[in-house]
C-alpha cells in the first residue's frame, strides 16, 4: 500500500495511514552526501583541483536525505541569475529503491512547510540524463515543463 493511502472507510469516518516521510534533514558538507552529490551530473569539478567540503552554495537551503544516504534533495532560495523566482531544487539524486516521484512529492511538502506559497522550480540538462524523457520523475510528481534557459536547460516548476 502506498504511503498516506486510505486504510479503510467506515460510514463517514476515513482512517489515513500516518506514515512519516522518508526524508530526514542532512547537512551541507556531510561526507556521504558529498559523495552522492559528486555522482550527480551537475556536480562542480574545479579545474584547479579544489575540493570544497560544502556543495550547496549560498542562500537559504535545506538538505534532505534518506537515513541510509541513498538519495539527496536540496532546496535553495537564492537570487537566481536566470530570473527564476521561488525555491530551487538544486540537486535531486535517487539511488534508493523508492520511486523518485514519491520522494519529490515528499520534498515538495517539506518545502511548502518551510517556504509557504513559494513556487518550486528546477533545471534539467536533457543530454546529461539517461532518460528518454528528461524530468519525467518531476512530471509524475505533479510538476510541469515551463520553458528553457538561455543555455538550453529544461525548466520545470510546481506552483
Residue written as grid cell 551530473 = 41
Domains of the chain: 21-158 (3.40.630.30)
Q: pLDDT tens digit string along 56-87?
A: 888 899 999 999 999 999 999 988 888 889 99
Q: Can you tell me whether residue 137 is helix, strand or coil?
A: helix
Q: What integer is the mean pLDDT of 13-39?
A: 77
**Pairing mode, if any, of strands 144-148 and 71-77?**
unpaired
Q: What is the pLDDT of residue 41?
A: 73
Residue 132, CA atoms < 13 Å, CB-side half-sphere:
0
Q: What is the pLDDT of residue 19?
A: 55
Between CA 159 and CA 140 the distance in angstroms is 15
Between CA 57 and CA 33 the distance in angstroms is 14
CA-CA-CA-CA torsion sign (43, 140, 105, 66): negative
Burial tier of 129 (Cβ tally within 10 Å: 0-12, 13-18, 19+): middle
Residue 32 has pLDDT above 70, yes or no: yes
The predicted model scores a pTM of 0.82
Amino acid at each position: 500500500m502506498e504511503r498516506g493511502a486510505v486504510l479503510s472507510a467506515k460510514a463517514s469516518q476515513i482512517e489515513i495511514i500516518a506514515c512519516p516521510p522518508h526524508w530526514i534533514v542532512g547537512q551541507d558538507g556531510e561526507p556521504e552526501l558529498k559523495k552522492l552529490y559528486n555522482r550527480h551530473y551537475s556536480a562542480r569539478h574545479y579545474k584547479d583541483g579544489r575540493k570544497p567540503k560544502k556543495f550547496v552554495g549560498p542562500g537559504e537551503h535545506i538538505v534532505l536525505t534518506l537515513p541510509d544516504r541513498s538519495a539527496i534533495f536540496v532546496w535553495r532560495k537564492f537570487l537566481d541569475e536566470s530570473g527564476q523566482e521561488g525555491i530551487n531544487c538544486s540537486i535531486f539524486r535517487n539511488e534508493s529503491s523508492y520511486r523518485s516521484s514519491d520522494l519529490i512529492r515528499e520534498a515538495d511538502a517539506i518545502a511548502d512547510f518551510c517556504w509557504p506559497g513559494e513556487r518550486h522550480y528546477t533545471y534539467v540538462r536533457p543530454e546529461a540524463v539517461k532518460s528518454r524523457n528528461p524530468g519525467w520523475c518531476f512530471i509524475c510528481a505533479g510538476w510541469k515543463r515551463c520553458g528553457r534557459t538561455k543555455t538550453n536547460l529544461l525548466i520545470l516548476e510546481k506552483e
